[in-house]
Amino acid sequence: MNLLAFDTSTEALSIAVQRGADSPLVHEGPGGAQASASLIPTIQGLLERAGMRLRELDAIVFGRGPGSFTGLRTACSVAQGLAFGAGTPVLPVDTLLAVAEEARAAVGFERVLAVLDARMDEVYSAAYVHDSGRWQREGDFTLGPPESVRLAAGWAMAGNAFAAYGNRLPAGGPRAVALPTAAALLRLAPAMLAAGLAVPAAQALPLYIRDKVAQTTAERAAIRAGQPLRP
C-alpha cells in the first residue's frame, strides 16, 4: 500500500511515507509550535524522495489524540487539506494505541498500559492487549493525576510520562519510553484499513479527552495554595 502517516500530538514530530513494499521513509523532529510550520514541507519532501504524488496514496494516516490541543488541530487540519485535495481517505488512529504498538515493536510488550503526559499534572492512559496479530483496547481512555493510574499484574507501561511523573505512577511492571510514531501508525494501518476504519476527509477529527485547554488565573492560584478547584 502507498501510505502517508504523521503524528504531532506530543513534543515530537513524526512523519513516514510507505511506497508499496519499499522500506518506509521516516522523519523525526521537534514538535510543538514548530510542527505546524514544518509538517507540510517535510511531507512534500518525503513524497518527492519516494517518487510519489498525493493522489497515489491509498490513505493518509494520522494520530487523532489524545494529546496536545495545538498538535491535534495541526494534524487534523493538514490531514483534511491533503485528503480533500487528493481525493484520498483518512485513517485516524488513537495516539495511545500507537504508543502500545511502538512498545511492542521495540521491546515485545503485548499487554500495555499506554501513558502520555497530559500536562496540568495529569496523564492520559489506556490499556491494550495484542492477540493474534491485532490490538484490542481494554476499557476506556482515562485522564487524571498520575496517582490515579492502575496497573494490573502482568502488564507493562509505555509512554512519555515517566520523566515528569515516574515516582507517582504505579510500580511493579516493566516500563518502556515510547511515543506515537509515524512508523507505528504505518504498522497499524493495513489491518485498520482492512477493517473499514478509513473515513472521508471531512471526518478527520481530533479525539479530545480534556475539555479545557488551560486553567484560569483563579484556578492556578487555588492549586498553588493547595485549595480544591470549584466546579
User: Does some domain include residue 215?
Assistant: no
pLDDT at 90 over 90: yes
Residues 9 and 87 in one domain: yes
Full domain range(s) for residue 138: 96-177
d(CA 77, CA 64): 11
This prediction has a pTM of 0.90
Same domain, 173 and 184: no
Q: What is the pLDDT of residues 50-79, one digit of tens each?
A: 999 999 999 999 999 999 999 999 999 999
pLDDT recorded at residue 218:
55
Residue 226 lies in a domain: no
Report pLDDT digits (tens) over 30-57: 987 778 889 999 999 999 999 999 999 9
127 and 140 in one domain?
Answer: yes
Same domain as 127, residue 188: no
Lowest mean pLDDT among 121-125, 183-187, 213-217: 213-217
Cα 173 from Cα 162, distance rounded (Å): 13
- CA pair distance 35, 39, nearest whole angstrom: 5
- Comparison of pLDDT for 221 and 178, the residue scoring more: 178
Rounded Cα distance, 196 and 203, in Å: 14
- Asked whether residue 89 falls in the same domain as residue 102, the answer is no
Structural domains of the chain, count: 2
My answer on whether 100 and 132 are in the same domain is yes
Which cell goes with 43? 511531507
Angle at 58 between CA 56 and CA 64, to 5 degrees: 125
Q: Specify if 227 maps to a domain.
A: no
How high is the pLDDT of residue 221?
Answer: 55
The fraction of the chain above a pLDDT of 90, given in percent, is 86
Average pLDDT over residues 100-122: 97
Residue 118 sits in the same domain as residue 166:
yes
Whether 188 and 79 map to the same domain: the answer is yes
